[in-house]
Amino acid sequence: MLPIVDIQGLRKSFGTQEVLRGIDLQVSPGEVIAIIGKSGSGKSTLLRCINGLETFDQGSLTVDGQALRHQEPSAMRALRQRVGMIFQSFNLFPHLSVGRNIMLAPALVKKTRSGEAQAQARRLLDRVGLGEKFDAMPDQLSGGQQQRVAIARALAMEPGVLLCDEITSALDPELVGEVLRVVESLAVEGMTLLMVTHEMSFARKVSDRVVFMHQGRVHETGTPDEVFGQPRTLELQQFLGSLTD
């Protein structure tokens, strides 16, 4: 089976600081990948390269067999229809209702008719447990509810790959579980997921493969049992040890 995401030799610098130092990573359709590592190891930058928010300096990156080409606006629009992204901060439009937030991208990008977009938005809100919030405004929702709306909004574009960048880090602890349950349901349904997360128990439970990044490289990778139970390198041992100190 061909990988749905194929990254080879990816390098990215900000000024004189090289943040990604030759990333090789292949993701199969339906695979759930948890990306872990210390702050500054390049995890979020990698996700932002995959969906085209950051340009990269060297290497190649393909999604669904399509190469990422920043100089071609039509190619970038096509890529962003296939790659959904959910951020730490929910980024909902505050002046639009919950339903309108979800309907916006399909209407603008896919030219989906209003009635069809509204029906889809209601289905997705049901899916994330917020079926009654279609007409609510974002500031009437808790942080966990806003993040679930953000997930529904990303799903409205029917992406082939969903990127999650520390999506629970801005939430109060009691709200984390409601968001993770939605992500777990997506994993069970076969969505291809790449998650940067600091929720290690969740990564162990849900992911097919764990990628440990260190100093801009994929330092170690394996099944959750291998990475968490039998870390091979001193750097991963130290990282996991720091979480329990």
Measured CA to CA, the distance from residue 52 to residue 66 in angstroms comes to 12
Measured CA to CA, the distance from residue 102 to residue 56 in angstroms comes to 30
What is the pLDDT, as a whole number, of residue 41? Answer: 95
Amino acid identity, residue 159? Answer: P
For the chain, percent of residues with pLDDT exceeding 70: 99
Q: Report, as an integer, the average pLDDT of 30-34.
A: 97
pTM for the complete prediction?
A: 0.94
The H-assigned helical ranges of 40-199 are 43-50, 73-82, 98-109, 114-127, 143-155, 173-188
Measured CA to CA, the distance from residue 31 to residue 33 in angstroms comes to 6
Quick check: 201 and 79 in contact, CB under 8 A?
no
pLDDT at 27 over 80: yes
Domains of the chain: 5-14+27-91+160-244 (3.40.50.300)
DSSP H or E run through 83: strand 83-86
Measured CA to CA, the distance from residue 136 to residue 152 in angstroms comes to 15
What is the pLDDT, as a whole number, of residue 124? Answer: 97
Cross-strand bridge partners of residue 165:
196
